[in-house]
């Protein structure tokens, strides 16, 4: 499954919203009713951290300014008001089919 993220780079103004897109080459809706698309953030110099799982569920401790949406093959991660700690590279990943695959990443920084 090929994952395609856009844009590859995004410069944002602190306090302003941001929207990231992820498209998959196959439908990520499983027969169990779950959509196996997750979002990760890799902050500079750190390991990735889980933000959103199953397209729209915020992982424990993730601020509610992060919102995942989408279905089938088109997904979006929205940040309502970008804060300094949100800079880094955002990856989407599908886990409906092995091998699990990541998008190329969207780098978010401040203007």
Q: How many residues bind other proteins (CB under 8 A)?
A: 24
CA 51 to CA 59: how far, in whole Å? 5
Q: How far is the CB of 80 from other proteins (least distance, A)?
A: 22
| Contact status: 91 vs other proteins (CB under 8 A) | yes
* DSSP3 helix / strand / coil % (the chain, rounded to 5): 5, 50, 45
| Contact status: 67 vs other proteins (CB under 8 A) | no
Backbone phi, psi, residue 60, to 5°: -50, 130
Q: Are 15 and 82 contacting, i.e. CB atoms less than 8 angstroms apart?
A: yes
Positions 10 through 39 that interact with other proteins (CB under 8 A)? 36, 38
Which residues have C-beta within 8 Å of that of residue 3, sequence separation ≥ 6? 22, 23, 24, 25, 92, 93, 94, 101, 102, 103, 104
Positions 35 through 54 that interact with other proteins (CB under 8 A)? 36, 38, 40, 42, 47-50, 53-54
| Contact status: 95 vs other proteins (CB under 8 A) | yes
Please say which residue, 23 or 95, places its beta carbon nearer to other proteins: 95
Binding-site ranges for other proteins (CB under 8 A): 36, 38, 40, 42, 47-50, 53-54, 57, 59, 89, 91, 93, 95, 98-105
């Amino acid at each position: 499954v090929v994952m395609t993220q856009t844009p590859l780079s995004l410069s944002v103004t602190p306090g302003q919203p941001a929207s990231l897109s992820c498209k998959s080459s196959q439908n990520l809706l499983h027969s169990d009713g779950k959509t196996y698309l997750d979002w990760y953030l890799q902050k500079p110099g750190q390991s990735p951290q889980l933000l959103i799982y199953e397209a729209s569920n915020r992982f424990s401790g993730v601020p509610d300014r992060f919102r995942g949406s989408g279905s089938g093959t088109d997904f979006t991660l929205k940040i309502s008001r970008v804060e300094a700690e949100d800079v880094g590279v955002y990856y989407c990943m599908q886990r409906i089919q092995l091998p699990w695959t990541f998008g190329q990443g969207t780098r978010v920084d401040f203007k």
